[in-house]
Amino acid sequence: MKICSKCQEDKPKTEFYKDKARRDGLRPSCKTCGKIQHQQHYLNNKEKIKAQTKEYYATNMNIERIKRKDYYYNNKPSYLAATARYKAKKLHQSPDVNPAEKWLIKAMYTISKMCSKSFGEPYEVDHIQPINKGGLDIFNNLQIITRSENRSKGDSFAKI
């Protein structure tokens, strides 16, 4: 047992934090008093601690942002190459369609926008057989699906 220097209560030694610098290897005040002191410290320095926490997050968020930007710039050539490849393929796989077909394709994009507005979820025009897998940019190969469906579909053939 040991008497706490703060509350003067006789408490078992497990109620004290260890402190190697002390002769008995324990802190003079008990765990409960330590917590109260800690809380008091927080209350006395609330604004300062809050500001420090805010600053810490702001700094680290910026680091995250910089890291992401770096990743993009380091991989920019491959991003751009992939986009260029896709565009070239799409162009190559867009057969000369008649005006009616052109109108239908355009309508698909308009409908997807209308769906996004009315259902409150982004909708996209998807190529059932993906462009990257040789699919054609024609009306019969188009479907309107949600963006999340499109992301999970990826380059697979699924008709949803």
Least distance CB 11 / Zn ion (angstroms) = 7
Least distance CB 59 / Zn ion (angstroms) = 37
Q: Which residues bind Zn ion (CB under 5 A)?
A: 4, 6-7, 30, 33
Least distance CB 44 / Zn ion (angstroms) = 19
Residue number, 33 or 142, with CB nearest to Zn ion = 33
* 158 contact partners, CB below 8 Å, separation of at least 6: 128
Other residues' Cβ atoms within 10 Å of the Cβ of residue 123: 21
Least distance CB 42 / Zn ion (angstroms) = 18
Residue number, 26 or 115, with CB nearest to Zn ion = 26
Any idea which residue has 């604004």 for tokens?
Answer: 47
Residue number, 33 or 131, with CB nearest to Zn ion = 33
Residue number, 10 or 155, with CB nearest to Zn ion = 10
* 129 contact partners, CB below 8 Å, separation of at least 6: 135, 136, 141, 157
Number of residue whose CB is nearest Zn ion: 4
Cα–Cα distance for residue pair 85/121, rounded to 1 Å: 29
Task: Please give the radius of gyration of the chain, using alpha carbons only, rounded to the nearest integer.
Answer: 32
